[in-house]
Structure 1
């Protein structure tokens, strides 16, 4: 059996083709970085909502911008994304040679057209997919609580959208799975349809690539004769930029395992285990929450909503702060600001908890 399965890891050595384990590992690398950084942003936002709340509210955009700069640097310098370079892989244009010397060296960078195509599928597509998933989650909550009138044309549209989305997502995941199976069997040149759409495929770094990258790194640190102040400043700027890029690359390579650990540590399964081991009784309410020392943001009457200043309708509490509002007030405020209106704590739609009195 071992002889029959040896092709999964060794048969690709002759044509520099990476194994399925390598390509899947590099795919999962960046997918583990995002939730870890998102949790870090959430911790900062909860510690100081006024100063760091923007990190949580605009996390998708900030992360996408940083990811764009990171991937563009690696694609233009080593012909690979960050995760691909981490596993010793590079991107080559479809139709080039198979390790016979006709391939473009990794140090030359990916051609401009293929670089922008790769950035489109590496950076922009994940951003749009994250936004789409948030939209689907929000629409499902609106449908569950009947935010829109039953006869509205908008509700009919998003009901059809919600019904079609699982099938579209299943078709996409099935396409990826079939591509990976074809790659394992050796009938496909790339494991992901996104690589085919970008017009590239993955291969291992060759000895020539490693030597060229090493020489390029040495050349960037070599002191060149300076004949003018303008050239001196330009050389210093390039050297500083190169040093910063190397520092960032090294830091990411070292920190990526720590980020994967954070992703596991704060996973739902691990948190449930920690809660069961460290469960403590609920502490009493803080003393400063008495009636005489309420914040100016809060009404004097406990039955009044802090947002609309009217008697609460359909009482809803925020799990992040414990304050109670009208459901409509809390829903639309959290939807647009992603924070508690009283405390400023980062809050999402799933933190809305409807309260039911015995009379209802």
Structure 2
């Protein structure tokens, strides 16, 4: 029923010339998954060589902001979209009475820089405030409380007010998404409204223009003057860095989604069912004489017929023996003494009684 409703929502949005809520939310969550992956990669590098990569951990937010700036500026200038929006075939369209232009020409100057501000600066400030709140709350819980002061009152006011500020922030975004679902606003996010743009699909003309302009840039002759050469060098270097970064992010996102699927609970259940040893059937092939030869008491070893010491089970059959008896027998015969099932030494499992 929910899937049927999702298809209806997508069809209504498409018929009205608007993107579905699922498309815009998917592109929003794409970059939010990249940051934790980069943070984990940075952590691995720092743990492997703290002296060389320690600065990455200390200045990770600034390092990530610079990389994000290069990546987003490249895509906004070339495709009129952020990286995640371009990944899903979307573009930013200026709102208002403006001249229609292809996505390859980029956004107007005002919308371009406002978009960069909303994409990079706002999330950077939000992350910094979250970390500041977490650090101050930890200090407030475990540190020694100093006498009251103006700084202490400001400190307490921030700790008391920030959870409500954060809730209002999330509620603001939720309100915009609900209004977007019901067609009351062309923006699914207040950040898009502040940037003066809305989202739309890339058209075939946009894709063709992007490809043509990319080809023409590669064929443009370089200037003979020193200034022209330096300008061309830095432009090509920044463009190459942005392209390399975007390619790396694209490949990283693929592997990130693969790892999320690989470590999902459903997939782990499937892996365990395929890789675990099958449960052996009961030894129905044993004849009556063999059954009679088994000890009557459960505490007696079937091999030495004495009270077991160091109880050890054989995983292939479930029978319990003395450790020394089971080890010597399996090592020489590679099978269970009672059932005859093929067994190895790694199938011996030491049992610990509750009294031990």
Task: Give the TM interval when normalised to the shorter protein.
Answer: 0.5 to 0.7
Q: Structure 1 residues 241, 178: CA separation in 2 closer, same or farther (over 3 Å shift)? A: closer
Structure 2 distance, partners of 1:225, 1:116, is 27
Matches within 5 A, 1:79-94: 79-94=80-95
Contact 1:16 1:204 in 2 (8 A): no
Contact 2:222 2:228 in 1 (8 A): no
Contact 1:148 1:155 in 2 (8 A): no
Question: Which residue matches 2:46?
Answer: 45
Please tell me whether residue 159 in structure 1 is matched to residue 160 in structure 2: no
| Deviations, residues 122-172 of structure 1 (Å, cap 9, x unaligned) | 101111111111111111112112434142332222212111111111111
Question: Which residue matches 1:254?
Answer: 251
Q: Structure 1 residues 232, 48: CA separation in 2 closer, same or farther (over 3 Å shift)? A: closer
| Deviations, residues 274-315 of structure 1 (Å, cap 9, x unaligned) | xxxxxxxxxxxxxxxxxxxxxxxxxxxxxxxxxxxxxxxxxx
Question: Which residue matches 1:36?
Answer: 37
Unaligned runs of 5+ residues in structure 2 are 270-356
Give me the TM-score of the superposition, normalised by structure 2: 0.66
Structure 2 distance, partners of 1:16, 1:56, is 45
Structure 1 distance, partners of 2:118, 2:181, is 22
1:9 partner SS: helix
1:170 to 145, 167, 170: 167
Question: Which residue matches 2:27?
Answer: 26
Please tell me whether residue 199 in structure 1 is matched to residue 164 in structure 2: no
Deviates more, 1:206-215 or 1:23-32: 206-215
Matches within 5 A, 1:93-108: 93-95=94-96, 103-108=100-105
Contact 2:70 2:242 in 1 (8 A): no
**Post-superposition offset of 1:14:** 4.6
| Deviations, residues 251-292 of structure 1 (Å, cap 9, x unaligned) | 32222122345678899x99xx9xxxxxxxxxxxxxxxxxxx
Matches within 5 A, 1:296-307: none
Structure 1 distance, partners of 2:214, 2:22, is 29
Contact 1:80 1:89 in 2 (8 A): yes
Q: Structure 1 residues 119, 47: CA separation in 2 closer, same or farther (over 3 Å shift)? A: same
Question: Which residue matches 1:280?
Answer: none
Question: Which residue matches 2:215?
Answer: 218
1:111 to 108, 114, 126: 108
| Deviations, residues 191-245 of structure 1 (Å, cap 9, x unaligned) | 0011111111111111211111121122223365988898788767766655554
Give me the TM-score of the superposition, normalised by structure 1: 0.65
Contact 1:32 1:260 in 2 (8 A): no
Question: Which residue matches 1:294?
Answer: none
Please tell me whether residue 62 in structure 1 is matched to residue 63 in structure 2: yes
2:33 partner SS: helix
Structure 1 distance, partners of 2:246, 2:107, is 18
Question: Which residue matches 1:137?
Answer: 134
Contact 1:220 1:242 in 2 (8 A): no
| Deviations, residues 98-125 of structure 1 (Å, cap 9, x unaligned) | xxxx632100101111111111111011
Q: Which has the larger radius of gyration?
A: 2
Q: Structure 1 residues 237, 68: CA separation in 2 closer, same or farther (over 3 Å shift)? A: closer
Contact 1:142 1:148 in 2 (8 A): no
Question: Which residue matches 1:289?
Answer: none
Structure 1 distance, partners of 2:61, 2:229, is 39
Unaligned runs of 5+ residues in structure 1 are 274-360
Contact 1:36 1:262 in 2 (8 A): no
Deviates more, 1:157-166 or 1:78-87: 157-166
Matches within 5 A, 1:317-336: none
* Equivalent residues, number: 266
